[in-house]
Amino acid sequence: MEHSGSSLYKQGSPIPKMSETAEAARNSAAWLDLRALCMYACVSERTLREWIHRPSDGLPAYQIAKKIFVKRSEFDDWICRHVIRPIGKVDIEGIVSEVIREVAGTR
């Protein structure tokens, strides 16, 4: 029997599609390391690190030694807070009024 190197798949078996890999990550552990979260969220590790280190509303993450973990449910909640609203639905006057009230209240 020939060894096929470090391949995880038997010769002739199909390599799973990204969606299958993401689905497996989605249904697995409650805690994801950055590599698993990359597959789950379909973003790069660099993007995840930028989200984690954002000055405001950063992605909640936990570090043990050099390994970073994100709780899947916290990621899902965090990402759902970043909904894109259609431009027609944004209440510009309301936003401006709220900002003016906040600024006036801090002085």
Mean pLDDT, the chain cut into blocks of 10 residues (107 residues total): 45 60 64 94 96 95 96 94 78 86 79
Q: Are strands 31-33 and 62-64 parallel, antiparallel or unpaired?
A: unpaired
Listed residue (36, 28, 34, 42) closest to 59, CA to CA: 34
Report domain extents, the chain: 18-106
Report the pLDDT value the prediction gives residue 95, as an integer from 0 to 100.
86
pTM more than 0.85: no
Report the pLDDT value the prediction gives residue 93, as an integer from 0 to 100.
84
Report the pLDDT value the prediction gives residue 5, as an integer from 0 to 100.
45
Q: Tokens for 55, please give them.
A: 């000055």
Report the pLDDT value the prediction gives residue 105, as an integer from 0 to 100.
79
Beta strands in the chain (DSSP E): 31-33, 62-64, 67-71
